[in-house]
């Protein structure tokens, strides 16, 4: 009988071993091999050993594509992101990947060329066509948030860092709270009010930060200056900083990210306005370089790693509830933290003089 079987066996010389090869060598069916691989309890220990030995001898490697075809799950998640070069998205992506690895998932990335509705839905489409089990979208702009709701995909999705107010779960840092933390810190140092350099107008994070800044000023009864609009780059921070540096009444600036704060620092330095002697500056993000700016930057730390891993957990739960028909999970907010360093100081009398 064994001879007969061996005669029947197709010639697979060269090609990698498959499950039935392992089974044949171990003297069991391919299904028992599958049971061993998937940890079924209904396999006798000695059979398991024989199968394991056969797998080892043949250098057998399970084919996850075949498995995905039959189970309908690829153990792969998609991440849609815009500029993965920026510190924020890059760290978030990193956090997601780490959490995904732990949860047994792979991460496939789709970065966007442009930030319009079309590219977002095109990316979501591409990913779901490729067979991902779920999608994380690192959203930072209103258009993409809208695009997410408009997408017809049935794949579970979670928005990260920003997103529509309803429809899909959102995991993000509490931007408004962070901005208010920064603004209150400056007010408490005695500054009459706080100027603000924002991110791009359509950035969701930027808008939230503006709101947090405004509400903190109003709560304190401080005047609300006109906000200056930047584009996250050090370059824009520099040019807006030059503008602000001309106005001696400006003694405190809350800048919507650390890169722009770096540009502002440089502009102030060029104009001979001391930081924090004449002007106090607070950034946002706490990039690794922030403590080494001149002077070391007071800023609001966002825990991107936490955002990444938390959003992954939410997505995995969304996938499970999608399969079981349970109610999908809600989103969550990560608390930011103020890092006080050397770019902020109590308002000086010199500045007070020009003011009163």
- Per-residue contact flags (x/-) with its own copies for residues 24 to 43, judged by CB under 8 A: --------------------
Which pair of structure tokens corresponds to residue 40? 């079924």
**Does residue 8 interact with DNA by CB under 7 A?**
no
> Binding residue for DNA (CB under 7 A) from 9, 27, 188, 249?
27
> Binding residue for DNA (CB under 7 A) from 52, 58, 62, 177?
62
> Binding residue for its own copies (CB under 8 A) from 177, 192, 269, 271?
269
Provide the 10 A C-beta neighbour count for residue 219: 12
3-state secondary structure of 192: coil
CB of 80 to DNA, least distance (A): 23
**Residues 318 and 328 sit within 8 Å (Cβ to Cβ):** yes
Q: Give DSSP secondary structure letters for 327-338.
A: PPP--EEEPPEE
Decide whether 75 or 215 has the Cβ nearer to DNA: 75
Residue 96 region, left (φ>0) first, then alpha (ψ -120 to 50), else beta? Answer: alpha
Choose among 315, 339, 342: nearest CA to 76: 315
- Max alpha carbon distance in the chain (Å)? 104
**Does residue 44 interact with DNA by CB under 7 A?**
yes
Decide whether 31 or 294 has the Cβ nearer to DNA: 31
> Binding residue for its own copies (CB under 8 A) from 3, 292, 327, 349?
292
**Residues 240 and 172 sit within 8 Å (Cβ to Cβ):** no
CB of 134 to its own copies, least distance (A): 14
Decide whether 27 or 288 has the Cβ nearer to DNA: 27
**Does residue 23 interact with DNA by CB under 7 A?**
yes
- Per-residue contact flags (x/-) with its own copies for residues 211 to 240, judged by CB under 8 A: ----------------------xxx-xx--
The DSSP bridge pattern shows strands 195-198 and 170-173 to be unpaired
CB of 302 to its own copies, least distance (A): 13
Choose among 213, 193, 343, 350: nearest CA to 266: 343
DSSP 112: -
Binding site for DNA (CB under 7 A): 10, 15-16, 18-20, 23, 27-32, 34-35, 37-38, 40-44, 47, 62-63, 66-67, 69-71
């Amino acid at each position: 009988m064994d001879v007969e079987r061996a005669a029947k066996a197709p010639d697979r010389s060269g090609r990698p071993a498959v499950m039935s090869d392992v089974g044949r060598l171990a003297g069991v069916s391919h299904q028992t091999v599958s049971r061993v691989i998937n940890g079924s309890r209904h396999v006798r220990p000695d059979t398991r050993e024989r199968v394991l030995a056969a797998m080892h001898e043949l250098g057998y490697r399970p084919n996850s594509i075949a498995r995905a075809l039959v189970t309908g799950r690829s153990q792969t998640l998609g991440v849609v992101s815009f500029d993965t070069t920026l510190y924020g998205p890059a760290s978030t992506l990193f956090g997601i990947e780490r959490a995904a690895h732990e949860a047994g998932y792979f991460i496939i990335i789709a970065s966007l060329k442009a930030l319009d509705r079309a590219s977002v839905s095109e990316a979501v489409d591409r990913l779901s066509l490729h067979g991902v089990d779920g999608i994380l979208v690192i959203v930072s702009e209103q258009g993409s948030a809208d695009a997410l709701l408009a997408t017809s995909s049935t794949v579970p999705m979670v928005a990260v860092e920003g997103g529509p107010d309803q429809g899909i779960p959102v995991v993000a840092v509490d931007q408004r709270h962070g901005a208010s933390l920064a603004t209150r810190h400056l007010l408490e140092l005695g500054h009459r009010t706080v100027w603000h350099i924002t991110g791009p107008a359509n950035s969701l994070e930027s808008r939230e930060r503006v709101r947090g800044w405004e509400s903190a000023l109003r709560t304190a009864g401080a005047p609300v200056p006109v906000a200056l609009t930047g584009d996250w780059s050090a370059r824009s921070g520099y040019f807006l900083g030059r503008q602000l540096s001309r106005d001696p009444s400006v003694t405190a600036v809350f800048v919507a990210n650390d890169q722009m704060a770096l540009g502002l620092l440089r502009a102030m330095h060029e104009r001979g306005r001391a930081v924090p002697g004449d002007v106090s500056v607070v950034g946002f993000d706490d990039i690794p370089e922030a403590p080494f700016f001149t002077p070391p930057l007071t800023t609001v730390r966002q825990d991107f790693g936490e955002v990444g891993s938390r959003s992954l957990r939410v997505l995995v739960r969304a996938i499970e509830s999608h399969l079981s028909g349970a109610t999908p999970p809600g989103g969550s907010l990560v608390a930011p933290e103020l890092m006080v360093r050397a770019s902020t100081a109590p308002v000086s009398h010199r500045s007070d003089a020009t003011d009163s």
